[in-house]
Amino acid sequence: MTSAEGGPQAGLRALLRPAAVIPVLVVEDAELAVALAEALVAGGLPVLEFTLRTPAALQAVQRVAVHVPGAIVGTGTVRSPDDLLRSADAGAVFAVSPGLSPRLAEAAERSPIPLLPGVSTASEAMSAAERGFSTLKLFPAVPVGGVALLRALGGPLPELRFCPTGGVSLKNAPEFLALPNVICVGGSWVAPAEALAAGDWTTVRALAAEAAALRPDSQPLPDCSAR
C-alpha cells in the first residue's frame, strides 16, 4: 500500500476501484435494501452508498452487508464521529461525508473504516490533503465547477483523486470519468425513487449496467437476484 492510501483512508482507493459509478441511495424501507443491492451488483455496480438521511439507512447497510456478498457497502451523509462509528458497527466498509470538519477528521484517524470526505474548493482539498486525505469527494460537483474545476485542480494537486457527486448524470458522467484525477463518480439516477417504490429491479439492473458500461473494464456480475 502506498502512503497515499494509508492513514484515515487506508485501502480506500482499492475499494473504489471496481466502481465507475457509486449509486447514492436514499432508502426509506430497509426491507427493500437487499433486492436493490442485488440488482445494482448484478448490473455491474458493486460499490454502494446508503445515505444516512433516513431512519432505515443503517438497517439497510446491515442487511446488505450480510446478505449480498458481492456488495461493497458504505454509508453517506456522514457528518459526525458518531455517524462514522455507527456506520462501522452496521457493517459498512467505507463512509462518505459532504464536507470535512475538524472533529470528523480526527475521528477518521481512529476509525476502523476509511472516510471519503467532501470538498468544494482548492483550499479545502489542500487542507484535507494535509490531514492525510488524498481521495476526495467533489461536492456538489456540478454547481461548484464540475469538469472545469477538476481539470484546473489536476495541475497544482496532481496526487489527489476525486469522486465527483452532485449533479452528475448519465449524460455528463463520461466527461468526469475521462479526467485522470477522477477515480469514479457518485449518482442517484441508477436507483430512481419510482423504481424503488414499484420494486422494479429489472429497471434498476438495466440502469446499473448502462452506468457500468461507462468504464470499459466494469463488467456486470452474475445474477444474484434469484436467491
First to last CA, the chain: 36
Largest CA-CA distance found in the chain, in angstroms, rounded: 49
Do residues 183 and 135 make contact, with C-beta atoms less than 8 angstroms apart?
Answer: yes
Beta bridge partners of 208: none
How many angstroms from the chain centroid is the CA of residue 125? Answer: 18
Spatial strand order of the sheet with 161-162 comes to: 118-119, 135-138, 161-162
Whether 49 is catalytic: yes
Query: Cell digits for 114?
Result: 476509511
Q: Which of 5, 31, 38, 49 is catalytic?
A: 49
Looking from the CA of 172 toward its CB, the CA atoms found within 13 Å total 14
Whether 171 is catalytic: no
* Distance of alpha carbon 209 from alpha carbon 214, whole angstroms: 9
Q: Which of 38, 109, 137, 175 is catalytic?
A: 137
Could you give the residue numbers annotated as active site? Answer: 49, 137
